Structure 1
């Protein structure tokens, strides 16, 4: 029997040459990968846990908290204001003190005392105002007087026990615009028909104007007065 020998196939491991561009790209990629690994190797790995997963609700890891800011001027830091009730009581007392002070100031009227005897009815019903920087109402004047003549400036100063200047003002100057005819008529009827006007100084910017007459039968000086603010 004839044997046919098959020739042996000899293979050689021949590599196809790689282009230089591919070699350079591969080397650069390997270098970048190693650098990344080295850069992040010191950072500890964190386990991924869902905050809302039911199995991790018992996590007791410490949480970062913000520092509390202290207020050195807190109202509740005082022992007298340790509660809301104490604080409200403090506010109410402050409001009461302010109201009392305002009431006291309003009750302290600026001016002289112009009444020490009965006021004629005709003068009490007059509702007129003296026009100045602050419009003030006319008020009755009724002072005890034993003379049968109009007082002088010094006499009125003595009746009022006033220390500042008291001067006489002409009626024509007092009512130069015919604004106070009602005042003048009321004073004439309450007295003997003769009227005199005085300026009583209170301060550099304030004065009182007295419009007076004499009622000899009742023994008094009667009239009206008003505060003037003269800036």
Structure 2
């Protein structure tokens, strides 16, 4: 009678032979491969912390700029410097002419006139200013156009384009009769003349003057005013 299979005894060799020869290799592979894969992926993946800003390298198009308050102020000062600083600048020509010598005294008739705050009527209504300049008239009276330009220290006397006018023609409407009379009084009967001096554009100066005294001790006295006619 045949014994049941459960009661069959195995051969000793069969007992030592594993049922699955690759079980250990298979199990090790299942465990080691995922760990290695996980380790490799984490090692190669860059770790970026929240709020972290990477430093720029020498190959970056941006550079870090650290500047103190003093350095920044110096930078601003340098940026605001005149680009022409350090170079010679052309001398500027003053457009103000000389009207009085230092220490020169105006005639009393002119002083009394100026106290009334007289103005020349134009677009600007400029006040009259006293004139008192040393003038060696050498017996010829009033200076000519070029001599007058030199006397008031015009920068280019030869090309000053000074013109002469008679006081009556200058004051054709009779607006400045009292001024003309005061100048005549200061000159004690000497000739009175108007010198018209252009100042560029719409600006012109009118010099109403006469001579006081004779020879080297004479003076050119009177008043002047700026006219602006647009």
TM-score calculated relative to the size of structure 1:
0.50
Is 1:118 the counterpart of 2:105? The answer is: yes
1:153 aligns to what?
A: 145
Q: Is the 8 A contact 1:111 1:208 kept in 2?
A: no
Q: Which runs of 5+ in 2 are unaligned?
A: 1-68, 71-93
In 1, Cα distance between equivalents of 2:96 and 2:153 = 12
2:211 aligns to what?
A: 214
Query: Which of these residues, 141, 165, 169, is aligned with residue 169 of structure 1?
Result: 165
Q: How big is the alpha-carbon RMSD for the aligned residues of Structure 1 and Structure 2?
A: 2.1
**How big is the shift at 1:172?**
2.4
Q: Using a 3 Å threshold, how does the CA distance of structure 1 residues 212 and 188 change in structure 2: closer, same or farther?
A: same
In 1, Cα distance between equivalents of 2:109 and 2:167 = 21
**How big is the shift at 1:170?**
2.6
1:204 aligns to what?
A: 201
Q: Which runs of 5+ in 1 are unaligned?
A: 1-78, 81-108
Is 1:224 the counterpart of 2:223? The answer is: yes
1:185 aligns to what?
A: 181
| Runs (4+) off by over 6 Å | none
Is 1:128 the counterpart of 2:118? The answer is: yes
In 1, Cα distance between equivalents of 2:127 and 2:95 = 13
1:61-140 aligned at under 5 Å gives the runs 111-116=96-101, 117-126=104-113, 127-140=117-130
Q: Is the 8 A contact 1:144 1:219 kept in 2?
A: yes
Q: Using a 3 Å threshold, how does the CA distance of structure 1 residues 225 and 137 change in structure 2: closer, same or farther?
A: same
**How big is the shift at 1:124?**
2.0
In 2, Cα distance between equivalents of 1:111 and 1:168 = 20
In 1, Cα distance between equivalents of 2:207 and 2:147 = 13
Alpha-carbon deviations, 1:171-215, whole Å to 9, x = none?
222101100011101111111422100101111210110001011
Q: Is the 8 A contact 2:167 2:180 kept in 1?
A: no
In 1, Cα distance between equivalents of 2:150 and 2:182 = 25
In 1, Cα distance between equivalents of 2:111 and 2:126 = 15
In 1, Cα distance between equivalents of 2:188 and 2:146 = 21
Q: Using a 3 Å threshold, how does the CA distance of structure 1 residues 122 and 178 change in structure 2: closer, same or farther?
A: same
In 2, Cα distance between equivalents of 1:111 and 1:185 = 26
Q: Is the 8 A contact 1:192 1:213 kept in 2?
A: no
In 2, Cα distance between equivalents of 1:138 and 1:110 = 17
**How big is the shift at 1:110?**
6.0
